[in-house]
Chain A
């Protein structure tokens, strides 16, 4: 099994034995209310999704990640994991103090405040998103964050219930699972979509050379018009049932924030999958991109800067149906003219689903389309 990033899987979930004592202690500590997105970060840190991070970043790691795309110890890391606060919220809190992170009044974690420091949001946007344009959804979120950052280790006291919690696995769970299945090479596929024939083609092309496939939908904030998480799971379950051999696929949700940081986020997604035990990671064209902020192959090129990543990226070209080849193919293996090629457009598919039509079979498996259409309203509003 591939070792976690940095060598050791982080576990900051307090044991049952310590929990009660710490909950008692927490009552006396300063309290800070965090947003849902920071709550997800806390859960990801505690469960080792962000190994080797044990808490929110201190300034040294933050600056290194911002400018070098590496932690202070030189380990690849491309997206800062930071906790922002208003000065008034931490009035009286000093470096070295313990504080409680709360969500909806409920204590979630104890944090040791190691450092309090300022940040330049515009510079953050320029480095992480390569744009300072507030129309970029990640940039807009950055500009809305608070003025100070606090870094320090966290200890998780309480889990938060999630409507899809039975679909979510943590790194230790997929690792034990892969070991039980005796898989040595595991290829991970990131998605936020229902599967069409192009996705299936890419997954199967990769699976041909691996023991197992981890289909890993990102669960979290969605924008209006996106497919609902439960629809994505149901659609994949149908696809797996009818079109994948038994025991080669694991479908599990990943609770993690989406930043739309394009190339930087492609690296981040790969590192996270390594922590889940994957050895290979499929990187899409314009992976984690939005609008036209990133070049179509930037998310592939950036991997050249990280020969020491510890997970192998798989760059599989966009697939299409070729009438001459008579099947799903890609640019690299089909010699035919454009007039024979039928491309699958996500926008077109969405439109058909909205009109409650079954798309043609070369676009989407009919069983998958039927599953999606069983939902009265498959979209987020």
Chain B
């Protein structure tokens, strides 16, 4: 597990409540886990010509293409 630091930020109350609700609806353990997930997605994901994916996703795609002999 990567080292973590504690940050204290204020966000609008209604946004917080929405996030809590969304975290519950999507089955996350707690709000903290959900916010980390959302931020990770934002940082890692790029929208390239309409293809929204993370570096990791792209690597997985290339791995499969290699395994199936489509690329060297």
Contacts and interface: CB of A to CB of B under 8 A. Distances in A.
A18 B33 CA distance: 11
B50 A250 contact: no
B64 A172 contact: no
B27 A9 contact: no
Interface residues of B, number: 20
A176 B28 contact: no
A18 B62 contact: no
B68 interface: yes
Contacts of A7: 50
Interface stretch (A21-29, A72-80, A258-266, A321-329): A21-29
A24 B29 CA distance: 12
A4 to B, nearest CB: 5
Interface of B: 26-29, 37, 47, 49-53, 57-58, 61-62, 64-65, 68, 70-71
B65 A177 contact: yes
Interface string A1-31: 1011001110100000110011011000000
Interface of A: 1, 3-4, 7-9, 11, 17-18, 21-22, 24-25, 166, 169, 172-173, 175-177, 180-181, 250
B12 to A, nearest CB: 25
A22 B27 contact: yes
Nearest to A25: B27
A8 B52 contact: yes
A180 B65 contact: yes
Contacts of A180: 62, 65, 71
